[in-house]
Amino acid sequence: MNRAALFDVDGTLADTNHLHVTAWWEALRQAGHTVPMHAVHRAIGLPGEDLLEHLLGEDRDRAGDGRISTGHDTLYATWFDRLPALPGAGDLLRELASAGWRVVLVTSAKERELDALRAAIDADEAITETATSDDVEQGKPAPDPILHALDLVGVPAGDAVFVGDSVWDMRAARHAGVTSVGLLCGGIPRADLEEAGAAAVYDGPADLLAHLAESPFGTRAAPPATA
């Protein structure tokens, strides 16, 4: 059976969310914006343009958006040679691939960043495809990235499970009609992930791997209704 295991990357397979928070916070500060770090953290998982709109509002002067995004990218790139994979991330991908799942990364990371993340996870042999926000008109929480990932491997929504760490991930999966699994390693509370649509929640990749048989990957729970 053709089945797809879809994975967000930052905060899900790599322990990078707080690096992004720091980079965005500093880029915003340099542009004259005072944004609390907890608010930045809650916005992680959105594509850059949507993140800025979420934090600064629709009525902002957008002329500085490019400079803020470039500032974030430059600051974050200083960690490329030491991005940490979360415990069990590579083993989880390899286990699913060996069980016949087609593993697809669904991420807003750009090419150099994605290369660094894949090097950290060190499981390229298990990865079938990669879907990025550059491939679609709208990023998460719109369903577009997940639907694109399914198209890449020719798998229907009912035969896929999506794993992520943010409410944006859970909402995107719900809108796409795909069963979602939430991970706490990105720093978002269990209740928030469940409210956003997570069918199950685990501490991180290692915890999901240890409970794979009873997880949605083992039970193949029916996907939720689209919203």
At residue 220 the predicted structure's pLDDT band, cuts being 50, 70 and 90, is low
According to DSSP, the residues that pair with 103 across neighbouring strands are 5, 127
Q: Which is it for strands 3-7 and 179-183: parallel, antiparallel or unpaired?
A: unpaired
At residue 225 the predicted structure's pLDDT band, cuts being 50, 70 and 90, is very low
Give mean pLDDT, residues 153-159: 97
Short-list 104, 172, 166, 170, CA closest to 140: 172
- How far apart are the C-alpha atoms of 222 and 25, rounded to whole Å? 39
Tell me the fold of 3-16+84-219.
Rossmann fold (3.40.50)
189-219 tens-digit pLDDT: 999 999 999 999 999 999 999 999 999 999 7
- How far apart are the C-alpha atoms of 124 and 118, rounded to whole Å? 7
46-88 tens-digit pLDDT: 999 999 999 999 888 899 999 999 999 999 999 999 999 999 9
Q: How is residue 187 annotated by DSSP?
A: S
Is the fold of 3-16+84-219 the same as that of 17-78? Answer: no
Would you state the CATH architecture of domain 17-78?
A: Orthogonal Bundle (1.10)
8-45 tens-digit pLDDT: 999 999 999 999 999 999 999 999 999 999 999 999 99
User: In Å, how far are 31, 157, 174, 207 from 114, measured between CA atoms?
Assistant: 26, 25, 25, 24
**Where would I find the beta strands (DSSP E) of the chain?**
3-7, 101-107, 127-132, 160-164, 179-183, 200-202
The pLDDT of residue 223 is above 60: no
- How far apart are the C-alpha atoms of 3 and 10, rounded to whole Å? 23
Domain residue spans in the chain?
3-16+84-219, 17-78
